[in-house]
Amino acid sequence: MDFSLSPDLAALRHEIRSFMDERVLPKENDVIREDAAGQDGTLKQLQQVARKAGLFVPHLPAEYGGRGLGILGMCTLFREMGRSPVGARVFNCDAPDQGNMDLLLQKASPALRERWLGPLARGEMTSAFCMTEPAPGAGADPSNLRTRAVKDGSVWRIDGHKWYSTGGGRASFLIVMARTSEDARTGASLFIVERNAPGVTHVRDIKTLGPDLLAHREAEFRFEGARVPEEALLGEVGEGFLLAQARLIPARLTHCMRWLGLADRTLELCKAYLTSRLSFGKLLAQHQAMQAMLFDGASAVHAGNLMTWHCAWLLAQGRTKEARPYASIAKTHVARTLCKVLDDAIQMHGGLGYSEDMPFALWYRSARAARIADGPDEVHLGVVARDYLTGKLPLLV
């Protein structure tokens, strides 16, 4: 195995790290404060600088302003961006837009790409992905899908109820999963629905444990006779479950990359405190209990990084089916790691860690969702155990 980066990728990583350190981290609090007040001046300025530096949407092909990085390159860069909760948005690589861009790139017709992918890639609009429904509809088990799309002449009529559509309230368009037949495998299809189309009601942004930040506001929608043209179908009729799975596997990995970056930064902040705070006659960093927490954090982050790389390596070779349980392992491990590292960081910083003078409490509130969104831990655990028990999980590369 060769873990070295190509000279180009190493240089790009250095550029992103410098951009993060010199431009994004000093403005992080401004972006967060402005966002809470419904403004985005600083974010837009940073995006403009990133665009000029050729660092915007690096995951997309050159025709959309990117660098055609591929998933292995994304592993390297997204981790750097993830060091701040606003970093990925500065480079237009945040969820859910980044996963939606990839899906549109692969499955949208040229007309749909021109209408939606172009503006999305340029950062002129945002999007949402609407799969989850309140009980008894689709949740951890997508086969509970209740939203329906019925063909009515040359249009589809959509009726249903969705929630937890991240970023939906501000999005220009939604990618909506709806039932188009009763078949267990081919019963769902994906549609691009304009967010302000007649029949689409944004009921509310749900108040959650997580702070409202940038696109990370969870919307609830009702669809009542929403009409979408035939051309708004993404892929083929009946491909909905397949496409959602194809979107979710790399999307889970890109979450891992960003979460690993935030865990890295958390450990960096711990290092600064432990190496400066004296307690019982020595630095905190010299106390074994503190070293044990650092060890746990550093080794879990390293393991998560290797898992993410390995799964990305499978995807880069088109081995998507094989990659699925490895994506489940990586996503579960990294989500738990981020929560644990943040919890330990609070402990290592004592009262300071618990206060809002440090960012851990804010970050933890967002991080907790990682163990639920894109499939709760228990579902991933079931997938991995099933594949292991039936011999479908070769544990070595």
Ligand X SMILES: Cc1cc2nc3c(=O)[nH]c(=O)nc-3n(C[C@H](O)[C@H](O)[C@H](O)COP(=O)(O)OP(=O)(O)OC[C@H]3O[C@@H](n4cnc5c(N)ncnc54)[C@H](O)[C@@H]3O)c2cc1C
Stretch that binds ligand X, among 61-69, 127-135, 188-196, 318-326 (CB under 6 A): 127-135
CA distance 91 to 89: 5
Residue 85 touching ligand X (CB under 6 A): no
The minimum distance between CB 208 and ligand X, in angstroms, equals 6
From the list 132, 375, 130, 388, the residue with the least C-alpha distance to 256 is 375
The minimum distance between CB 372 and ligand X, in angstroms, equals 4
3-class SS shares of the chain: helix, strand, coil, % to 5 = 55, 15, 30
Q: Is 1 exposed, middle or buried (0-12, 13-18, 19+ CB in 10 A)?
A: exposed
CB 86 within 8 Å of CB 67: no
Pick between residue 131 and residue 249 the one whose CB is nearest to ligand X.
131
CB 8 within 8 Å of CB 77: no
Q: Which position among 76, 100, 127, 165 is part of the footprint of ligand X (CB under 6 A)?
A: 165
Pick between residue 12 and residue 95 the one whose CB is nearest to ligand X.
95
Residue 190 touching ligand X (CB under 6 A): no
CB 123 within 8 Å of CB 56: yes
Stretch that binds ligand X, among 46-54, 185-193, 313-321, 374-382 (CB under 6 A): 374-382
Q: Which position among 112, 285, 361, 379 is part of the footprint of ligand X (CB under 6 A)?
A: 379
Residue with the CB atom nearest ligand X in the bound state: 139
Residue 35 touching ligand X (CB under 6 A): no
Q: Which position among 19, 156, 164, 259 is part of the footprint of ligand X (CB under 6 A)?
A: 164
Q: Which position among 81, 93, 145, 369 is part of the footprint of ligand X (CB under 6 A)?
A: 369
Residue 180 touching ligand X (CB under 6 A): no
Instruction: Give the residue ranges of DSSP H helices in the chain.
Output: 7-19, 25-36, 41-52, 70-81, 87-90, 97-107, 110-112, 118-121, 240-274, 288-316, 320-354, 360-367, 377-389
Residue 373 touching ligand X (CB under 6 A): yes
Residue 300 touching ligand X (CB under 6 A): no
Q: Which position among 80, 218, 239, 387 is part of the footprint of ligand X (CB under 6 A)?
A: 218
CA distance 239 to 216: 27
The minimum distance between CB 318 and ligand X, in angstroms, equals 26
Residue 129 C-alpha from the chain's centroid? 11
CA distance 385 to 186: 25
CA-CA-CA-CA torsion for 14, 16, 20, 21, nearest 10 degrees?
10
Q: Which position among 129, 173, 363, 364 is part of the footprint of ligand X (CB under 6 A)?
A: 129
The minimum distance between CB 192 and ligand X, in angstroms, equals 15
Q: Which residues bind ligand X (CB under 6 A)?
A: 96, 129-132, 135, 139-140, 164-166, 210, 218, 369, 372-376, 378-379, 382
